Amino acid sequence: MILDDVEGTETRNELADIVTSLFDRVSPPAEVVARADRAAAGHLDLDLWNRLSGEVGVLGLTVPEELDGGGATFAEAAVILELVGRRAAAVPYLGTFLAIEALVRSGATPAREAWLERLMAGESRGALTWAGAGLEARSDDGSWEVTGTVDLVIDGHGADVLVLPARTPDGERWFAVDLAGAGRTRRECLDLTRELAELRLAAAPALTLTEAGDQTLGDVLGDLARTAVAVEQLGVAEQALADAVAYAGVRRQFGRTIGSFQALKHLLADVACEVDLARSLVEHAVWAICCQPDEQGRAAAMAMLAASRAAVVATAESVQVHGGIGFSWEHPAHLYFRKARSNEVLLGARAELADRVLAAEGVRP
């Protein structure tokens, strides 16, 4: 559980219990492979998605109360993200969450008025991209239109609104673009539960979120996205480690459980150390977003580096511990390995993250 030793622990524990119970009822562990296969064919787990957005109201958690939201912090959203990672859930939470954060943080704009309520209710889905190169926005009598193509958009194939930067005559602005008439091509993703898409915009209606040249929103959303994926990676690592430990405790070879062999004990202890380090850095990044915004850039990059390493190591070793069954399609171990590897480069290369940390320390990359 994220930040389980600070204020708000009881509330986050209750939220985790509620969401875990919903996962158990709607998307139990025994069905995770079948649901991932359907997601890979273009059919996300919309039953689970509708329950999360409707029954639990996860999409409005971090929206201020004056905007009819839950008034919670990013720490509560992190609870959801961690569980999405642990359960390898095929739901478009990340893209919609980031779109909502963009609308809220941009202030009282027509875009917020048009989209926020629908996104919070789960009636519409959102996506966000930083790939603004080649996108042009033009205004005619105050109405903006965006033209261009963006690829590998997270949760983009089924999105109704896309938050993005685009070039204008006065400089770059951020927009909320209506995707009703957009061309869409679903991209194959290593993570079977993740939806990526190419979106083609031809004079798509758009509403502004920022003034020309204001990069603050983009920087904040980048830190949020890196921390969000780091939290998901932590959930992946924790589940992979838990599965490996559980299997080592019941699988017998040479008349004893394999978990009693020293070599396996050492391997799992090394994985546990990686996961513990990742948890520390991820919790620091979540805290920075909630309490110390000046620290969130460096903290987000460090969390992403550590959590991705832990997820890749934990999932790879989980496959090995499970032996032959771990290499089969019927076992979920490969789903977590795929997710860990995909998330590792989802928002950029590891070298870019390392450069961010060095730059924050005053070291020129």
Looking at the structure, tell me whether residues 147 and 279 fall in a common domain.
no
Q: What is the pLDDT of residue 191?
A: 97
Q: Which of 91, 107, 140 is the last residue of a domain?
A: 91
Q: What is the pLDDT of residue 5?
A: 53
3-class DSSP assignment, residue 125 = coil
Q: What is the pLDDT of residue 48?
A: 95
Q: Stretch 265-291: mean pLDDT, rounded?
A: 96
Q: Stretch 168-191: mean pLDDT, rounded?
A: 95
Least confident of 140-144, 154-158, 233-237, 342-346: 140-144
- Give domain status of residue 161, yes or no: yes
Looking at the structure, tell me whether residues 203 and 220 fall in a common domain.
no
67 within 8 A of 113, measured Cβ to Cβ: no
Q: Rounding to the nearest 10 degrees, give the CA dihedral for residues 35, 97, 165, 153.
A: -10
The domain total for the chain is 3
- Give domain status of residue 333, yes or no: yes
Looking at the structure, tell me whether residues 224 and 297 fall in a common domain.
yes
Q: Stretch 197-201: mean pLDDT, rounded?
A: 96
Looking at the structure, tell me whether residues 202 and 227 fall in a common domain.
no
Looking at the structure, tell me whether residues 35 and 149 fall in a common domain.
no
In degrees rounded to 5, what are phi and psi of residue 299? -65, -40
pTM of the model: 0.94
Question: Which residue did the predictor score with more confidence, 315 or 250?
Answer: 315
- CB within 8 A of 258, min separation 6: which ones? 248, 251, 252, 264, 321
- Give domain status of residue 108, yes or no: no
- Give domain status of residue 248, yes or no: yes
Q: What is the pLDDT of residue 342?
A: 97
Q: What is the pLDDT of residue 358?
A: 87
Instruction: List, for residues 131-150, the tens digit of each pLDDT value.
Output: 877 899 999 888 999 999 99
Spell out the SS3 assignment of 134-198: CCEEEEECCEEEEEEEEEEEECCCCCCEEEEEEEECCEEEEEEEECCCCEEEEECCCCCCCCEEE
Round the CA-based radius of gyration of the chain to a whole number and report it: 21
Structural domain boundaries, residue 160: 126-208
What proportion of the chain, given as a percentage, has pLDDT over 70? 97
Mean pLDDT of the chain: 93
Q: What is the pLDDT of residue 365?
A: 58
Q: Which of 208, 226, 250 is the last residue of a domain?
A: 208
Instruction: List, for residues 32-53, the tens digit of each pLDDT value.
Output: 999 999 999 999 999 999 999 9
- Give domain status of residue 106, yes or no: no
- Give domain status of residue 2, yes or no: no
Q: Stretch 313-323: mean pLDDT, rounded?
A: 97
Alpha carbons 189 and 157: distance in angstroms, whole number: 12
Looking at the structure, tell me whether residues 341 and 224 fall in a common domain.
yes
Instruction: List, for residues 244-274, the tens digit of each pLDDT value.
Output: 999 999 998 898 998 889 999 999 999 999 9
- Indicate the pLDDT class of residue 1, thresholds 50, 70 and 90: low
Looking at the structure, tell me whether residues 233 and 339 fall in a common domain.
yes
Q: How far apart are the first and last CA of the chain?
A: 34
Q: Distance of alpha carbon 161 from its chain centroid, rounded?
A: 17
- Indicate the pLDDT class of residue 3, thresholds 50, 70 and 90: low
Q: What is the pLDDT of residue 11?
A: 86
Among 164, 165, 304, 278, smallest CA distance to 223 is for 304
